[in-house]
Amino acid sequence: MSCEKEIYMSLIDKVLDHEASEEEQYELRQHMSHCDFCREHFTAMTELLDELKEARHVTAPEGFTESVMSRLPLSATKIKRRRWFQKHPVLTAASLFFVLMSASVLATWNEGNELSVETNSKHVKVIPSSHLVVVPKGETVKGDLIVENGDVRIEGKVEGDVVVIKGERYMASAGEVTGDSKEIHQVVDWAWYKLKHLFISEDR
């Protein structure tokens, strides 16, 4: 592949997440007009998302996830998952479609209610009884802030992304987020977010 794959893989993610600007969407369309790899990858991911949205209420039979995983190529366990994912987008999309339909994913989404906070900062105030996370006024969080099953109130500054899963984000007048900020309220969006960040973490 002749293109700078990391740049365009990231741009494809932004377009699929509806976070890309019109200029970025135009840039991707122009690039895919002459790059077969990125065009096929984008098509496969689009079809996967469409099928997931149609099947969000489907429950897989018991043991189905384990059965699908056992049939994945052995080579996938010997190399980094992200690279395998990029080299085999159609096969991976088909397999992940069934995995993400499984009852375990739906059960985790429906039953999980414990407050979870991911950050490398000590300046975050966590209030478990209220399911609330606060970035106090005058404090700066360097890095991403990910909160699941709780609300976030930003009175200070976050130098990174803020992701709130099954919760709400509140910005004080002096609050600031330098990266992306998103709220996730649907199981399909949550599964897609977890999937993307699984491959990203494996590649680091």
13-33 pLDDT per residue, tens: 888 888 888 898 899 889 889
Give the model's pLDDT for residue 75: 42
The span from the CA of 54 to the CA of 199, in Å, is 24
Q: Does residue 196 share a domain with residue 160?
A: no
Q: Does residue 58 share a domain with residue 12?
A: yes
Full DSSP string of 147-195: EESSEEEESSEEES-EEEESS-EEE-TT-EESS-EEEE-SHHHHHHHHH
Q: Is residue 125 pLDDT above 80, yes or no? A: yes
Please classify residue 176 by burial: count the beta carbons closer than 10 Å to its beta carbon, then call 0-12 exposed, 13-18 middle and 19+ buried.
middle
Q: Does residue 88 share a domain with residue 9?
A: yes
The span from the CA of 112 to the CA of 101, in Å, is 17
Give the model's pLDDT for residue 3: 47
Q: Which of 100-114, 118-132, 143-157 has the lowest mean pLDDT?
A: 100-114
42-74 pLDDT per residue, tens: 888 887 777 666 655 555 556 655 665 566 554
Q: Does residue 191 share a domain with residue 93?
A: yes
188 Cβ neighbours under 8 A, 6+ residues apart: 49, 52, 53, 56
Q: Does residue 196 share a domain with residue 142?
A: no
Number of domains in the chain: 2
Q: Does residue 195 share a domain with residue 172?
A: no
Q: Is residue 159 pLDDT above 90, yes or no? A: yes
163-186 pLDDT per residue, tens: 998 889 899 888 999 988 888 877
Q: Does residue 193 share a domain with residue 178?
A: no
The span from the CA of 26 to the CA of 6, in Å, is 18
Residue 152 structural domain: 116-184
Q: Does pTM top 0.75 for this prediction? A: no
Average pLDDT, the chain: 75
Q: Which amino acid is at 74?
A: L
Q: Which of 79-88, 89-98, 112-121 has the lowest mean pLDDT?
A: 79-88
Decide the pairing of beta strands 140-142 and 157-159.
parallel
Q: Does residue 83 share a domain with residue 135?
A: no
Q: Does residue 91 share a domain with residue 168?
A: no
Q: Does residue 170 share a domain with residue 72?
A: no
Q: Does residue 103 share a domain with residue 83?
A: yes
Q: Is residue 157 pLDDT above 60, yes or no? A: yes
Q: Does residue 40 share a domain with residue 106?
A: yes
Determine contact, residues 131/142, Cβ cutoff 8 Å. Answer: no
Average pLDDT of the segment spanning 96-111: 58
Average pLDDT of the segment spanning 80-102: 58
Report the residue count for the chain. 204
**Closest-CA residue to 109 (of 186, 181, 168):** 186
Rg, the chain, Cα only: 19
